[in-house]
Amino acid sequence: MSAATGAVKATSSLIACEGVTVSYGEGEARVTALHSVDLAVQPGERLALWGRSGSGKTTVLHVLGGLVVPNEGSVTWRGQELSSLDDAARGRARAMGIAYIFQGSNLLSHFTAFENVAFAREASAQSAGRRSDRRAEHEPEDLLELVGLSAKLDSLPNELSGGEAQRVAIARALAQSPELLLCDEPTGHLDSDTAERVLDLMEALQREFSFALVTATHDAGVGARAGRVVELADGHVVGVTQP
């Protein structure tokens, strides 16, 4: 994938990393996963983090989501400095509008599709307080209807196909009323036809609800759907393109 390098300014961004370095281990075993990364995500943007396995994509997602605190640099979410907060405060900040979709659906195995979505909705509401936007008004059954699973409300995860489970994961993420949705290889375990349908669904929901969508992928086809692609290699941002 060709790319033109360039830093993205954090002005008016929803979330931004500036000079972020993340290292693990000590001494000779120390590994640096990210090297002085600058990245800003705008409200409603569709952005892809593209690169091979080990390039740092997932670490960037974890930094954006407040799951990893950088060794150096800053992360600012809706004007608040995430990286300076303690774990509890960072969790509360995440609850105010950041949701994840993982490579595997990561559903609670003993909960039905309905219960998985309802649990996420209630947990988000308790952490952040209910908000009056359209997403917060949706009941779990409404969200499952949005992703085409009205007939699967009472199904357990092991009774769902891979594509169905991932659609439940999407509904669960929407239940958290995200302003920022972080996706880590969300179609990595799906066949190509199912992956296309899942991606089409996510894009349609993003247009409806206007959340920013950041997807980590090694699939150039997924990157081609983004409004901006940030390419990583060995923990460095090596290029930015707009397909």
The residue segments making up the domain with residue 58 are 1-85+213-243
How many domains does the chain divide into? 1
pLDDT (0 to 100) of residue 6: 39
Query: How many other CB atoms are there within 10 angstroms of residue 104's CB atom?
Result: 15
**183 domain residue, yes or no:** no
User: Can you tell me which residue has the tokens 């958290």?
Assistant: 176
**90 domain residue, yes or no:** no
CA pair distance 175, 140, nearest whole angstrom = 7
- CATH number for the domain spanning 59: value is 3.40.50.300
The pLDDT tens digits along the chain (243 residues) read 444 443 445 557 999 999 999 999 988 899 999 999 999 999 999 999 999 999 999 999 999 998 999 999 999 998 888 878 888 888 888 888 999 998 888 899 999 999 999 999 888 877 755 554 544 567 899 999 999 999 999 999 999 999 999 999 999 999 999 999 999 998 888 888 998 999 999 999 999 999 999 999 988 888 899 999 999 999 999 999 987
CA pair distance 179, 175, nearest whole angstrom = 12
User: HEC profile for the chain?
Assistant: CCCECCCCCCCCCCEEEEEEEEEECCHHHCEEEEEEEEEEECCCCEEEEECCCCCCHHHHHHHHCCCCCCCEEEEEECCEEHHHCCHHHHHHHHHCCEEEECCCCCCCCCCCHHHHHHHHHHHHHHHHCCCCCHHHHCCHHHHHHHCCCHHHCCCCHHHCCHHHHHHHHHHHHHCCCCCEEEEECCCCCCCHHHHHHHHHHHHHHHHHHCCEEEEEECCHHHHCCCCEEEEEECCEEEEEECC
CA pair distance 114, 109, nearest whole angstrom = 12
pLDDT (0 to 100) of residue 226: 95
pLDDT (0 to 100) of residue 156: 98
**235 domain residue, yes or no:** yes
pLDDT (0 to 100) of residue 11: 57
**13 domain residue, yes or no:** yes
**163 domain residue, yes or no:** no
**94 domain residue, yes or no:** no
Residue type, 77: W
pLDDT (0 to 100) of residue 220: 81
**Tokens standing for 15?**
């979330």
pLDDT (0 to 100) of residue 135: 47
**105 domain residue, yes or no:** no
**231 domain residue, yes or no:** yes
